[in-house]
Amino acid sequence: MSVFRISYRYANSFFQLAEEKKSLKKFAEDVELIHNTLVQSKELRAILRNPVIKQKDKKNLLSIIFGPKIQKETSDFLEFLVTKGREEMITEIMKEFLNLRDDKEGIVKTNITSSVDLTDSVKKEIASKLEKKTNKKIKTEFEVDTNIIGGFIVQIKDTVYDASVKHQLELLRKKFSEEISI
């Protein structure tokens, strides 16, 4: 089975549990904590992936690291994942869980690239404009890239709104490379 399908299956069952308990927010906080820790700590990921380390040790390690900070259900879930031998996929499963939450709450991640640092008021304006356009809550991530020369690029999921000078110049070049019909 593909990584996507496995992670979706585990994440979805955990997500349903969270909804049943009506404490999605708390669960999501836990998951976010685990996800961020895993993303940041290369060592932890390496240990989880290592087949030489016994499952018991992995379980202990996880409960020592996260145990006090998360709810019992979450730490049970982690233990369950290790028992099932899916410990190397915890990062993907957590990511999938967050995606499910975002879908449920209508949150869309947006990546905005500009050539210069934007002021907070402009950022806010862009976010509110995009929210209006997509009818969803927008979670923005800003990036500065001088390569695009000027303007900005917004990426919402797979769709790109490209208003960068670089792209305009590329289009212009294409236009000129076409045969001139006089």
Partner 1 sequence: MAEIRPDEVTAILRKQLAGFDNEVDIYEVGTVLQVGDGIARVYGLSNVMASELVEFPNNVTGMVLNLEEDSVGCVLFGESSLIKEGDRVKRTNRVASFPVGDKLLGRVVNPLGEPVDGKGTVQFDKYMPIERKALGVIARQPVKEPLQTGITAIDAMIPIGRGQRELIIGDRQTGKTAIAIDTIINQKFTHTEEAKKYGIKPVYCVYVAIGQKNSTIAQVVAKLEEEGAMAYTTIVSAPASSPAPLQYIAPYSGATLGEHFRDSGRHALVIYDDLSKQAAAYRELSLLLRRPPGREAYPGDVFYLHSRLLERASKLSEDLGGGSLTALPIIETQQGDVSAYIPTNVISITDGQIYLEPNLFNAGVRPAINVGISVSRVGGNAQIKGMKKVAGSLKIDLAQYRELEAFAKFGSDLDKATQKILAKGARLVELLKQGQYVPIQVEKQVVSVFLGTNNYLDTIDVKIVKRFEKEFHEFAELKYPAIYENIRSTKELKEDTIQLLKKAADEFIEKFRK
Contact between 155 and partner 1 per CB under 8 A: yes
Which of the stretches 13-21, 30-38, 42-50, 152-160 binds partner 1 when contact is defined by CB under 8 A?
A: 152-160
Would you count residue 122 as binding partner 1 (CB under 8 A)? no
Assess contact for 41 and 126: CB atoms under 8 A.
Answer: no
Q: What are phi and psi of 138, to 5 degrees?
A: -110, 130
Distance CA 3, CA 73 (A): 24
**Shortest distance, CB of residue 163 to partner 1, whole angstroms?**
4
The number of residues that bind partner 1 (CB under 8 A) is: 22
Interface with partner 1 includes 79 (CB under 8 A)? Answer: no
Which residue's entry shows tokens 């585990």?
10
Pure H helices in 41-83? 42-49, 55-66, 72-83
Q: Is the CB of residue 95 less than 8 Å from the CB of residue 9?
A: no
Q: Does 172 bind partner 1 (CB under 8 A)?
A: yes
Nearer to partner 1, 64 or 182 (CB): 182
Q: Does 88 bind partner 1 (CB under 8 A)?
A: no
Residue 173 in contact with partner 1, rule: CB under 8 A: no
d(CA 182, CA 162): 31
User: For residue 147, which amino acid is it?
Assistant: N
- Taking the least distance from each CB to partner 1, the nearer of 72 and 175 is 175
Task: Select from 50-58, 116-124, 125-133, 163-171 the region that touches partner 1 (CB under 8 A).
Answer: 163-171
CB 166 within 8 A of CB 148: yes
Residue 160 touches partner 1, criterion: CB under 8 A: yes
**For binding to partner 1 (CB under 8 A), which residues are involved?**
2-5, 155, 157-163, 167-168, 171-172, 175-176, 178-180, 182
